[in-house]
Each structure stands twice: as structure tokens, then as C-alpha cells.
Structure 1
Amino acid sequence: MLDNRVETFLALCDIMNYTKTAETLHITQPAVTQQIRWLEEYYGCRLFSYQGKVLRLTEKGKTLRRLAQQMTANAQGILQEMQREENTEIHLRIGATKTIGDYMLPPIMVVFLQEYPQYRLHLTVDNTGKLLHMMEEGKIDFAIVEGFFDKEKYDFTLYKRERFLGVCGKACPLRGKSISLWGTHTEPLILREPGSGTRDILEELLKENNFTVHSYSTVQEISNFQAIKAMTEASLGITFLYEPVVKQELEEKRLFPLEILNFDIFRELNFVYLQNSLFRQTWQPFVDFAMTWQK
């Protein structure tokens, strides 16, 4: 059970406004101020400071936030462990980005449960940023992501490297042509929503080549991979995805790889977890299994 002052501190870190934090926690603003002041006196340092009228975390405040988030996650794990009876099922809460959760994990989960029937798996599919936030709040045990994350803030294990490629439909004018990445901008672009790992990687690649998604003739933002593939197959635009997402469509020649010069791109997929996790032994069997599993 966490001290309510720590909970207030974490809420203020997220909201960065004393009044709104008080409203969210259903306490008074002076109570928020008093609890933060108590923590500052206890630790002997300032946790927040103002730059003009903007509230900021100090470096010590950032350190306490990171450690308090670990405490929160571990407290959730302790609660589950204490409530679990001997020889009963083990609940494992997995977070995964859409590429991984929709196309890579399902067959692994099936075989894992056949070999480890005592486990109960709970899978949450969302974008990288939201998954990391859920992990910090103790709502998931670890995440498997393809997007960028702060490697100094989290512990991680490289899962695999997957090819990232552009694809088009049969009637696309670019099919079968050797083009530069810039040469793709004449076509409509179909892509995931902001915050998704797939989009983050594409935007970074475009930035390295001095243009953006807005350089394309039109942009369609779609959160569903099936819709993205259907629209691309109908030659309504081009898209960029990880190879496992379009493997079947490429084999059946319903989609075609764009022949982009100097575009042999592979990106990391990582298991990400909080530093100093107390319950690594609970989820490590799944990580080890996934690392060695092959179809």
C-alpha cells in the first residue's frame, strides 16, 4: 500500500497543476501543497520549481518520480501475490504494440499456454507511449514494443529485428519502379495514428531525408491494419509496415513491395520492463519462451 503523499506526488507529476491535481484526487489544494512540502522536507530537496508561471520537476523530482513509479508497479505486484493462493494460476499482464499484439504474439501465446497451463494471460494492445504509462502505473507487467523509448529509463531485452518496408497495390503507378524515398511522395500516404510505433519510425526516416508525412499528396490516418491493407490493395495509396503484417498479402501478390533505393530498413522489437522489478520471476518464463519460440 502506497503512502498517499506519494500518490499525490505522482498525480501532480502527471497534471503539473496544484488546483487540477486537488480536483482529480478530491482533496483541497492546501492538502496537495502540504503533502508535497512534507516530501520535500523529508528528502531534503526541492521536487518542483516554477519557471515563470510554469510548474516544472527538478532533477531530484524526476528521480523521485522514476523511483515512485517503480514502487507503484511493485505494490500492485505485491497485492496480486498476497491475494494468490498456493498452487493457483499465475496472472501475467502483457502490453504489446499493434504489430506485435495482432501478428506476432497470438501463436506464441497459444503454445505457451499449452506448456504452462497455470498461467492466465491478459493482453493489452496499444501504442508505445500508452503502454509505458500503463507499466509505470502497475497496470501491465511488461511491454513488447517496436517504437522508440528511453533506454536509460527502462530495462529492456532485444526480442528481434524486423524488416520495415513500403508496399503498394497492383494498380499503383510506383509498382515495379526503382525510386528514391522522396519519389514516393507523389502518392497518397496511408498510415497509423500519431503515437504508434509504425508511424514514429516512418516519421524518423522521412526526417532523415528532409521531408515529412505532410509532403505526400494526401494523408489518410487509419488505426486499423486490416483497413490500411485493404485501402492499399485497392491502390488508394501506399503504406509502410513491418513485414509480418503484410507477409500473407505479399505471398498472395495482393500487395507489392516498393523498390525504394537504399531502403533496407530493420528495426528493433524490445521487451521493456521497469528497472528493479520485484516480480521478474513471474514474467521471465514468458520472455524466455518467446525468445526461443519458432513456428
Structure 2
Amino acid sequence: MLSTQHLVFLEVARRLSFTKAGQSLFLSQSAVSKQVKALEEYYQTGLFERLGNAVALTPAGQLLYRKLLQAQQLQTELREEMAALNPRFAPEVQMVIGASTTVSLYVLPPVLSAYLAERPRTQLTLKNRNSENILKALLDHEIDLGVIEGIHRVSNVTYTPLLTDDVVAVCSARNPLRHRHLTLTDLYQVPLALREAGSGTLAVLEQALLAQRIRLADLRVPVRLGGTEALKNFVRVDDQVLAFLPRQAVARALAAGELAEVPVEGLALKRHFEFIQRRGTENLAPFREFMQFARRHYSAAE
């Protein structure tokens, strides 16, 4: 088992911030500093360089960080192999999952609830960021498993399909566009409200438009908002803009008449949600079992 001091060091090393590490661990900044100082005294060397408000790992800190990541991986594998040898050994499983905004809000909650009901000795943490930052968090060992959509693939990550969803064009119920069927050419004249850079939804839209030889840079985009809910709420109260949002995110608002779907001829947008894992962790039981459970959940719902 890694010591508390080593776990605190890992969080500071991941975030390169004593303050952010403290927030993540629910510790004061002084408590985080105290744990790191104790490690530096033990190893008789500095682990971080303090550069004003920023910190950086020293060579010794980089070495310790690499070794502790390996130790975490070995610890997970050891627990799994011990449990296979002795059914009475059932340690609490801790899993940190990162998911893009839409997945966190609309896709994973029912899965997490059902999964925890069957596995009470599991502790799950869900972190919500856009797809680009979830991929970064996975590669930085900040999360164990991610769920993203609409992002370029990288070689040191494995991808497993979860489900497919539509992205639809919507507007306020007061917007004159609610009565129209748009063409691709119309998009040059309609003001658009879009997600921020790094969003999976935005990436899917951009790719689909490029396939039709339309660049986002050539369209009218007066506003960009971070997060699905922020964009949905903006469109709900604005009677001019058109937005592209996941169908799962706007289904209730469409049914309630708060938003209206606006067909765009020749533009079909599909998002493919996928699990992402660091290569080498595919066969670890907790991750494999959760992925299988989530896939079964949505297969049964179809």
C-alpha cells in the first residue's frame, strides 16, 4: 500500500499545484505542504522547485513520480490476483472515471447507480471535463478510465465503443427558425452558439461541416459556451441563435416545447461514445467489469 505521503505527492505531481492538490484531496494547502516536506526530508532531496505560484518536479521528483505510477499499477494487479486466489479477499475497489460533459450528465448516472447497487464495496469518483481534457487526464494518470466522443485517436490509448447518439440543431421556441428547414447554405447567415474548443460535440460538428466543404471559421459564431448545460440554457432564452447539441441533452426540453429541433438538409451528425484506457490496463478486472456492465445497460435499453 502506498503511504499517505506518497499519495499526496502523486496528486501534487499530477496537478503541479499544491492548492489544486489540496482541493482534490480535501486537505488544506498547509497539510499538503507538510506531507511533501516530510517526503523530502525522508529522501534527503527536493522533489519540487517552487517558482513563484508555480511548481515543477525536480529530477528526483520526476523519478519518484514515475516509480509511484508503476507501484500503483502493481498494487492494482496484486489485489486482482490475490482476489482470484482467495475469494474471501475482497478489498474495496476504488475507480476514478473521467467523462465528457454530456456523458457525465446524461449517460453515466443511471449506470453508476445500478453498478453500485450490485457492488457495494466499490467507490467511484466521476470527473467531468471536455473530451480533450479527459484524454489528457488519462495520460497523466489522473483517472483510471475515460468516456469521450469525437476526438482524434492516439496510439497509447485503447478505445472501446459504448453507444451512439445524434447531435441535433435546436433553437428557442420563440425563434423564427423553429418553423424552417435549413439548407447547408443557410448556415452562413444564421448566428450560431457553439461549445468551446476541445468539446467532443464541437469536433463532430466541425468534421461533418468540413466533409461538406464548410469551415466553422466562415460561419457567424457570436458566442461559445463551456459545457452542455450552459449552451442549452443560453439557447433556451435567446431567440436568435441556432445551436448543435446532443439529443440526449435536449430530449426533455424538446418534449416540453422549450426548444425546437431545426432540420438541416444534408447534415447528419452522429457521436460515438467510447471508453478510453491506457494501454496495458485493458485486462484489469475492475475496469473490464465496469465497461461490460455499461455496455450491457445500454444494449438492454435499445
**Could you state the TM-score of these two structures normalised by the residue count of structure 1?**
0.71
Cα-to-partner distance string for 1:33-63 (whole Å, 9 max, x where unaligned): xx9xxxxxxxxxxxxxxxxxxxxxxxxxxxx
Cα-to-partner distance string for 1:179-210 (whole Å, 9 max, x where unaligned): 21331332221111111111112222222233
Q: Is the 8 A contact 1:231 1:237 kept in 2?
A: no
Q: CA RMSD in A?
A: 3.1
Distance 2:156 2:76 in 1: 25
**Within 5 A, what are the aligned runs for 1:116-135?**
116-135=119-138
Q: Is the 8 A contact 1:187 1:237 kept in 2?
A: yes
User: Which residue of structure 1 lines up, in the alignment, with residue 274 of structure 2?
Assistant: 270
User: Which residue of structure 1 lines up, in the alignment, with residue 28 of structure 2?
Assistant: none
Extract unaligned runs of 5+ from structure 2. 3-12, 14-47, 84-88
Confirm whether residue 240 of structure 1 aligns to residue 244 of structure 2. Answer: yes
User: Which residue of structure 1 lines up, in the alignment, with residue 97 of structure 2?
Assistant: 94
Cα-to-partner distance string for 1:234-274 (whole Å, 9 max, x where unaligned): 22411101110101011112111111112232221101111
Distance 1:219 1:160 in 2: 32
1:114–1:233 Cα change, 3 Å: same
User: Aligned to 2:186, which of 183, 186, 189?
Assistant: 183
Give the Å deviation of 1:156: 1.2
Extract unaligned runs of 5+ from structure 1. 2-10, 12-20, 36-67
In structure 2, give the amino acid aligned to 1:160: L
Distance 1:142 1:275 in 2: 11
User: Aligned to 1:109, which of 108, 112, 122?
Assistant: 112
User: Aligned to 2:223, which of 220, 228, 241?
Assistant: 220
User: Which residue of structure 1 lines up, in the alignment, with residue 199 of structure 2?
Assistant: 196
3-state DSSP class of the match of 1:113? helix
3-state DSSP class of the match of 2:170? strand
Distance 2:72 2:140 in 1: 9
Give the Å deviation of 1:115: 0.8
- Greater shift, 107-116 or 129-138, is seen at 129-138
User: Aligned to 1:78, which of 65, 74, 77?
Assistant: 74
Q: Is the 8 A contact 1:164 1:240 kept in 2?
A: yes
Give the Å deviation of 1:222: 1.0
1:26–1:231 Cα change, 3 Å: closer
Q: Is the 8 A contact 1:189 1:213 kept in 2?
A: no
Distance 1:133 1:72 in 2: 19
3-state DSSP class of the match of 1:157? strand
**Within 5 A, what are the aligned runs for 1:31-70?**
none
1:246–1:74 Cα change, 3 Å: farther
Q: Is the 8 A contact 2:101 2:130 kept in 1?
A: yes
In structure 2, give the amino acid aligned to 1:99: T
Q: Is the 8 A contact 1:74 1:279 kept in 2?
A: no
3-state DSSP class of the match of 2:176? coil
Give the Å deviation of 1:82: 6.7
1:26–1:233 Cα change, 3 Å: closer
Q: What is the percent sequence identity of the aligned residues?
A: 23
Give the Å deviation of 1:77: 3.0
1:147–1:72 Cα change, 3 Å: farther
Q: Is the 8 A contact 1:101 1:125 kept in 2?
A: yes
In structure 1, give the amino acid aligned to 2:277: Y
